[in-house]
Each structure stands twice: as C-alpha cells, then as structure tokens.
Amino acid sequence: MQKLLTREEIAQAVHRMGGQITRDFAGQSVVLIGVLKGACMFLSDLARQIELNATFDFIAVRSYGSKKHTAGEVQLIKDVTTPLRDQNVILVEDILDTGLTLTFLKNHLLEHEPRSMKIAALLDKPSRRVADVEADYCGFKIPDKFVVGYGLDHAERFRNLPDICVLEEGGQE
Ligand code: IMP
Ligand code: MG
C-alpha cells in the first residue's frame, strides 16, 4: 500500500498538537476523550505530548452505512464514566470526514456542561464535510482518499500499521 503519512510525519504532527494544547490550557487540567477504536493510538501518543494534568476516558459509537462511509445515523455504544461538568474536555478522533460522528459526540458531551469543549482530529478530509464542525487541533488535511493505519481501519483491519496508507481501490464499498 502507498504511504500517505509516515510514522515520523505523524509523530511530528502529534508533537505540535500536544504543544498547542499545553500552551492553550496552561495552568489547567484537561480530560481527553478518545473515540474508540480508531483514536486509541492517537490518544496514547498525544497524551504523552501534553504537559498538563490530564485524565482519559473513552466513548464508542457505531455509524450506519457502508464500510467506507457514514450514512448519517450515529448510535452511542459506550458512554464516558468520568464526570465532565466544569472540565476542559478534548474530544480526540482519528479523522474528521463528513463530520456527522463528531457533531453527534460534541452535542452529547455538551449535555454534561463542561467548562470548554475542543476537538483534536489527527486527519481532516474537508472536501467531504456535511455537518458544520471543525477541528480546533488538526494534524493534517488530506484529500478524499480512504486511508488506513495508525488506528484507522477498513472492516477492522490495518489498525496496527505504523504509517497511514491509502487503501487500494477495489475494496468493498
Ligand atoms: P464522519 O462521521 O463521516 O466524520 O466519519 C468519521 C468516522 O468515519 C471516523 O471515525 C472513521 O471511523 C471513519 N472514516 C472516515 N474516513 C475514513 C478513512 O479514510 N479511513 C478509515 N476510516 C474512516
Ligand atoms: Mg472511527
């Protein structure tokens, strides 16, 4: 498979994003909420680049549609257990595509009345956006190609690739 982003480029972007978060929340604490399963690698690397008092939690959703696209209906399958009221919440997601998943999650978490709510997305495909949502911290803007690796899957495969690669055409839609 063709590499789009190497592990070195990913590490550099994650380092930069961690630095931004550290500066923006200087003197405060943050709660990182990873969206399972895709964001697990990103969250674990990002957390180690944040020099603040930080805690983690995880949330999981299922989005209906084909293997490659969100159809628009998002269902919560695992909620957070950390109290979020008055906390600085950073939602950590692998990729912002149509934006439907993050819009759903953002609205869901806002019900907990956090002090602040930010989105950190490693990848962003702006050309596919349907919902009005943007990342506050973004690693890379990428073209409309289906990518796998570093947590991102196709039908649950390839999450363990250390680099982010473009999935060859011909995969099942
Ligand atoms: P959205 O709701 O369309 O923004 O979709 C976000 C979710 O779709 C991500 O959390 C991924 O699980 C999945 N997704 C979107 N694009 C890709 C891709 O290129 N590779 C792997 N998963 C993707
Ligand atoms: Mg995902």
Q: What would the pLDDT profile of 116-152 be if each residue is shown by its tens digit?
A: 999 999 999 999 999 999 999 999 999 999 999 999 9
The reply to whether omega before 37 is within 30° of 0 (cis) is: yes
- Indicate if ligand 1 lies below 6 Å from the C-beta of 95: yes
Please give the number of the atom of ligand 1 that sits closest to the Cα of 63: 2
- pTM of the shown model: 0.94
- Indicate if ligand 1 lies below 6 Å from the C-beta of 96: yes
CA of 95 to the centre of ligand 1 (A): 6
Q: What would the pLDDT profile of 78-114 be if each residue is shown by its tens digit?
A: 999 999 999 999 999 999 999 999 999 999 999 999 9
DSSP for residue 78: E
Query: Over the chain, what is the mean pLDDT?
Result: 94
What integer pLDDT is reported at residue 104 of this predicted model?
Answer: 95
What integer pLDDT is reported at residue 69 of this predicted model?
Answer: 67
CA distance 146 to 166: 6
Our mutation pick for probing the ligand 1 site, out of 35, 94, 147, counting the most ligand atoms within 8 A of Cβ, is 94
| Catalytic residue check, 144 | no
For residue 69, give every residue at least 6 positions away whose Cβ sits within 8 Å of its Cβ, in sequence order, or none.
97, 98, 173
